Chains A and B, each alone.
Chain A
Amino acid sequence: MQIYLPIAEMSVNAFLLLGMGGGIGFLSGLFGVGGGFLITPLLIFIGIPPAVAVGTGANQIVAASVSGVLAHWRRGNVDFKMGLVLLLGGFSGSTLGVMLFSFLRGLGQIDLVISLSYVIFLGIIGALMLYESAKTMRRRKTAPGQRRKLHQHTWVHGLPLKMRFRRSKLYISALLPLTVGFVVGVLAAIMGVGGGFVMVPAMIYLLGMPTNVVIGTSLFQIIFVTANVTFLQAYANQTVDVVLAMMLLIGAVIGAQFGARAGARLQGEELRGLLALMVLAVCGKLFFDLLVTPADIYSIGVAR
C-alpha cells in the first residue's frame, strides 16, 4: 500500500514506514535511547530528501520523548532545574543550528554536513561506549566492587556562576550545562536528532550527574529542543512532513512495548555493547557512502 507524503512529495510503501518506526521503537525500548540517530539516516537511505528527513525526525522525537519523560517523571527522575539550564543553551543552539541549516542548504552542502556530523559523532560515541562496556564486562569477571570517588575536583570546578542542583547533588558552574545544551542544540537542528546520545555521556562524564536522573532530565530538555527545531524547520524551510512523522510514530509506539520487555531480559553491559556495535554500523555505512565514488557526480540542488 503506497502512501503519498505531501511535503517530501513522493510516495512510499506505508508498511515500510510502519516497519521502520516499529524497528526504531523496539530499539529505543530496548536500549532506552530516542532513536533519532537511526531514524534520520534510515529515512535518507530510503530516498527521503535529507532536509525533510531531519525536520520530520525532530517532530517524531518530540512524541517519543514525551512518552518517555512522563514515565521518568512519575519515578521522580527528572532534575527540572538542570533541565531548564540545559534548555536555555539548547534553545539558542538549535535556533543557530536551523539558521546554519538553511544557509548550508542554499550552498548545496547540507547533505555532506549531515553525513559528516553523523560519521564523526556516531564514530566517537560508538567507540567510547564499546570501550566502556568491554572494560566493565572484563572488570566484572576479575575484580568486582571497586568504588568510584564521589567527587573529583578539576579546573571545571573553578568556573564562575556556580549553581546548586539538588536532585543531581551537584554544585557546579551554570556555564557547563549551558555549553552542553548549546552544542547538543546545534546538533539536534543539523542532524535531526534529540541528541540524547551526546547529552547522556556529557551529563555523566562532564557534569558528573548521577545516572538515575540523567535519562529523565535529558528527555525533558530534548522535548523542548526538538519542538523548537520542528517549529523552526517548518517555519524557515518547510521540511516537516506530518504524515511521515505520524506513520513512524504509530510503528514506534508499538515497537517500543516489545523492546522494553526484551530489554528486561538482557544484561546492562551487554545491552550497551550491542548498542555501540549498532551505532558503529550506521556510522560505517554513512562513511562508506561518502568515500565510494557516486553513481553520478552531478546532482540537482535546491533553486532559491
Chain B
Amino acid sequence: MRPVAAFLCLVSACLMVPAGAPKASTLVADLSRHLVAISTGFAGTDVLLFGATEGKGDVVVIVRGPDRPVVVHRKSRVLGVWVNTAKMTFDRAPSFYAIASSRPLAEIAPSTVLAREEMGLDKLRLELTRAKASANVAREWRAGLIRNHEAQDLYSAEVGRVTFLGNRLFQARFKLPANVHTGTYQAKVFHLQEGRVVSAQTIPLQVSKVGLEADIYDFAYQHSALYGMIAILVALMAGWAAHLAFRKA
C-alpha cells in the first residue's frame, strides 16, 4: 500500500504547482523504497519508480549499481584443457545496470545523446586500464564482461518499459536479482523533448545486508581470525552432538 500512498501524495503535489511558477525542473520522480534489505529469505525484489513530467516528452530511467574494477579472464585450449590464459582489468564497471524507456531508445534521442548519458548497454562506457588491445580486441573483452553480467541477471540488454498513465504520470519497474551486490545504487531519470535532455533527477537506492546476514558478513571480514575460530568451535560442538545422537541410536 505504501508506494500507492506515496504516489498519490506526489501526484497531488504536482497538481498543486501554480501554472506561473518558474520552470526550474520539468520532472519529479521517486522510488517505492530507498532501502533494499538483504535478509535470510532474500530472493530478489522489485523496485517501482514513479513520477510526473511537465509538458510532453519521453522518459528514460537507468538504475546503476556502484562502480568497481572488474577483472576478466579469457580461456583458451592448452593440451585439450580449457585454461584461463589472458586477463584484462576494467577500471570501473557498474555492478548493476538496467534501463527502461517510454519508447525505443533510437526514436527518443540521437546516438550522441544516448552515448553521453550511457543509455543502453551498448553505450555503457567500459574502458580497459591501458590500451593494451586494439579496438577490435577491446570490443570482444567488453562484450565478454557484459555477457557474464547478463548471465547473472546483473545487466539487462532488454530495455524495460516506462508506462505513462495519462499524459504526465509515469512508472517503471525494475527487478533486482538475489545475487545483487551491496552498496549505493542510483536511479537516474531523464526527461527528453525532441532528442534533448531537458531535465534529469538522481535518486539514491541503498542495497545492504541486514540482520544476521549482515552481522555474519561484517564479522567474517572485520574479525577474520575470531570468525575462523568460531566456525571451528561450532563444527566441533555439532560433531560432538551428532556423536551423542548416534550413540543413542
Residues of A within 8 A of B (CB): 1-4, 6-7, 9-11, 59-60, 62-67, 70-71, 108-109, 111-112, 116, 227, 230-236, 238, 240, 242-243, 245-246, 249, 253, 256-257, 260, 290-291, 293-294, 296-304
- Residue of B83, B151, B239 near A65 (CB, 8 A) is B239
What residue in chain A is nearest B181 (Cβ atoms)? A9
Question: Within residues 60 to 88 of chain B, which ones have a CB less than 8 A from any CB in chain A?
Answer: 68-76, 80-84, 87
Contact A296/B209 with A6-B216, A231-B228, A302-B71 known, Cβ cut-off 8 Å: no
Q: Which residues of B contact A108 (CB under 8 A)?
A: 71, 73, 84, 87
B234-249: CB near A (< 8 Å → 1, else 0) gives 1110111111011101
What residue in chain B is nearest A298 (Cβ atoms)? B144
B35 at interface by CB-CB < 8 Å? no
In the complex, are the beta carbons of A231 and B229 less than 8 A apart?
yes
In the complex, are the beta carbons of B220 and A240 less than 8 A apart?
yes
In the complex, are the beta carbons of A59 and B231 less than 8 A apart?
yes
Q: Which residues of B contact A240 (CB under 8 A)?
A: 220, 227-228, 231
Q: Which residues of B contact A233 (CB under 8 A)?
A: 228
Q: How many A-B residue pairs have CB under 8 A?
A: 186
B174-204: CB near A (< 8 Å → 1, else 0) gives 0000110100000000000000000000000
B148 at interface by CB-CB < 8 Å? yes
B157 at interface by CB-CB < 8 Å? no
> B11-19, B39-47, B105-113, B114-122: which one contacts chain A?
B39-47
CB distance from B90 to the nearest CB of A (A): 9
What residue in chain A is nearest B152 (Cβ atoms)? A300
Q: Which residues of A contact B25 (CB under 8 A)?
A: none
CB distance from B68 to the nearest CB of A (A): 7
Q: How many of chain B's residues have a CB under 8 angstroms from any CB in A? A: 64
Q: How far is the CA of A50 from the CA of B172 in the complex (A)?
A: 37
What residue in chain B is nearest A242 (Cβ atoms)? B231
CB distance from A115 to the nearest CB of B (A): 9
In the complex, are the beta carbons of B178 and A234 less than 8 A apart?
no
In the complex, are the beta carbons of B220 and A59 less than 8 A apart?
no
In the complex, are the beta carbons of A64 and B217 less than 8 A apart?
no
Q: How far is the CA of A249 from the CA of B181 in the complex (A)?
A: 28
Q: A2-B41, A10-B179, A304-B71 are in contact. List 13 more A-B contacts (CB 8 A).
A: A4-B41, A7-B217, A9-B179, A66-B240, A70-B240, A108-B73, A109-B84, A227-B232, A234-B228, A242-B216, A296-B144, A297-B76, A298-B145
B167 at interface by CB-CB < 8 Å? no
B133 at interface by CB-CB < 8 Å? no
Q: Which residues of B contact A112 (CB under 8 A)?
A: 81, 83-84
In the complex, are the beta carbons of A300 and B148 less than 8 A apart?
yes
